Amino acid sequence: MSVPVRSLFLGLLLCFSVSLPSVAQASLKVGQSNSIEYSRVWEAILNDAGIRADFVIAPTDKKRQMFVNGAIQLDCCASPLWRQKPEEKAVQLFSDVFYRSPEYYVFPEGHVLKIKAAQDLRQFRVAVIRGFSYKGEEDFGSVVECRDMNELLDTVAAGKADLAFINLNDYQRRMREKPRAVALGQLAFIADLRIQVRRSSAKLLPRINGAIARLKASGRIEAILNDLDADNLRVRVGQSDSSGFHAVWSAILHAADIEPEFIDAPQERKRRLFTEGVILLDCCAAPLWRTRPDEVATQLWSDTFYVTREQFVFVRGKEPDVSTPAALRKLRVAVVRGFDYKDQAFFGLKVPGRDVEDVLTLLAAGRADVGIISNVDFHALMRRHPGPFVLGPVRVEAEQKIRVNKAAASLLPRINAAIRRMKAEGRIKALLEGPSAGKAPYSAR
């Protein structure tokens, strides 16, 4: 190879090798913490370490198995004393400690006990979360398994268990959201919380430890744990499954200066994720549609931003009688899975679809006789995909609001201020009724 050609080749090779770091880093599958407090710390660590995360939401026992199998590479937030299964120890590494979490006993109100030694637990029923490991669990008299921390506290309050363990941050938040007849007892132990790293991703450990050191030195971790609504962290919000409302939802968040991380999930699952605190904001709903006890216990509502009409919808020329609830007993009614409907007990047969578009698809396919849809959704869908459909009578008028988890209550004034400004400027009406209704003005940031 001649000198000039060799020089050119080496130059190109050098340029290529230098350009490699600029290639967008692929996101990494990581476990989502089941705690609001620690999920925010977890996100801050990942952001500081420059790790793009694809969060996986799953029960703890499933997440532990996913980590062992390599389906997720990182998880938070755990202590080595909770991850002692042989198959876990074979594949895991741990970061430096990012927080020393005080774990307390919690008892039914009026029945606080003094636990002098682990062996004392042999005479008690201990409430535990399915999939969790506990220090000294071999000494528990018996266990009462619970799905999550809310159910654990409810179980203790109802006297179905004699005691349980909970960290202080979690206890304080959940008691603010839903006061219960329980009382905090003595400190049980302090857990050194770390990031669990799969050995196959060991090269990320120095970056994670560096991020932990910086965040601890700046006081950022303590600040997050003492302020659940830290402004410079993204907020997980429900993705509207309505094309008609997506634009106004995005615009309200933008006007409130809230950076959303949209969670797209079926309606029923979104409702569960909201009550579990994984989703902190959701849109768009009316209080009359969200009356389950666990929802009422965890939700706040914004001011009304729009009043919609919930209406029947038919295929043109095929318009059955819907004049009375009793008339519905003979009909197949297309609905959105996870939605609750007025007079739904009278529906002859509920035909569920994933979203409002499915309602029209089911009608067009002849699988349903009548559907239920809001006027906003209907007009937005007809602009995009005109079809042989016609709106029927109005069933109910609903005040549309933003649903706010009580853990994010400090965001409510900002959301209400954004709604007031947008209504005064006529922007909400334009987004929902104007010629470009249904088109999102802002992309997810």
* Domain boundaries of the chain, sorted by first residue: 25-98+193-226, 100-190, 235-306+399-433, 307-397
Q: What is the predicted pLDDT for the residue at 311? A: 87
Kindly tell me the burial class for residue 249, based on how many C-beta atoms sit within 10 Å of its own C-beta (0-12, 13-18, 19 or more). Answer: buried
3-class DSSP state for residue 93? Answer: strand
- Report CA torsion sign: 399, 404, 405, 409: negative
**Spatial contact of 196 and 146, defined as CB atoms under 8 Å apart:** no
Cis omega (within 30 of 0) for bond into 76: no
User: Nearest to residue 71, comparing CAs of 200, 202, 262?
Assistant: 200
Tell me the C-alpha distance between 203 and 28, whole Å.
13
Query: What's 235-306+399-433's CATH class?
Result: alpha beta
Which CATH fold would you assign to the domain 25-98+193-226? D-Maltodextrin-Binding Protein; domain 2 (3.40.190)
Q: What is the predicted pLDDT for the residue at 397? A: 87
Which residue, chain included where needed, has tokens 């190109």? 12
Q: What is the predicted pLDDT for the residue at 437? A: 52
Architecture of domain 307-397 in this structure? 3-Layer(aba) Sandwich (3.40)
- Indicate the angle between helix axes 243-255 and 356-364, nearest 10 degrees: 170
Q: What is the predicted pLDDT for the residue at 234? A: 62
Tell me the C-alpha distance between 72 and 104, whole Å.
30
Region 100-190: CATH code: 3.40.190.10
- Alpha carbon 382 to chain centroid, angstroms: 31
Decide whether 100-190 matches 235-306+399-433 in CATH topology.
yes
Q: What is the predicted pLDDT for the residue at 229? A: 41
Single-letter amino acid code for the residue at 232:
N
Q: Which distant-in-sequence residues (6+ apart) come within 8 Å of 245 by Cβ?
A: 283, 284, 376, 377, 400, 432
Q: What is the predicted pLDDT for the residue at 182? A: 94
User: Nearest to residue 402, comparing CAs of 235, 266, 268, 265?
Assistant: 235
User: Nearest to residue 331, comparing CAs of 317, 320, 345, 340?
Assistant: 320
Q: What is the predicted pLDDT for the residue at 40? A: 84
Radius of gyration of the chain (CA): 26
Cis omega (within 30 of 0) for bond into 77: yes
One digit per residue, the tens of pLDDT, for the chain of length 445 reads 443 433 333 343 333 333 333 334 578 999 988 776 788 899 999 999 999 998 888 888 889 999 999 999 999 988 888 888 899 999 999 999 999 888 899 999 999 999 988 889 999 999 998 878 787 888 999 999 998 888 999 999 999 999 999 988 778 778 877 889 999 998 888 888 999 999 999 999 999 999 999 998 887 887 777 654 444 446 889 888 676 688 899 999 999 888 888 888 887 888 888 887 778 899 888 888 888 888 888 899 999 998 888 889 999 989 899 888 888 898 999 998 877 787 888 899 989 888 888 899 999 999 999 999 888 888 878 877 888 999 888 888 888 899 998 877 778 888 999 999 999 999 998 888 765 554 444 333 2
Helices (H), 131-264: 149-157, 168-177, 205-217, 220-226, 243-255
Token pair recorded at residue 326: 């009793």
- Alpha carbon 415 to chain centroid, angstroms: 19
pTM for this one? 0.46
Tally of residues, the chain:
445
Q: For the chain, what is the largest distance between any 2 Cα atoms, rounded to a whole number of angstroms?
A: 91
Q: What is the predicted pLDDT for the residue at 236? A: 81
**Spatial contact of 240 and 246, defined as CB atoms under 8 Å apart:** yes
- Indicate the angle between helix axes 149-157 and 168-177, nearest 10 degrees: 70
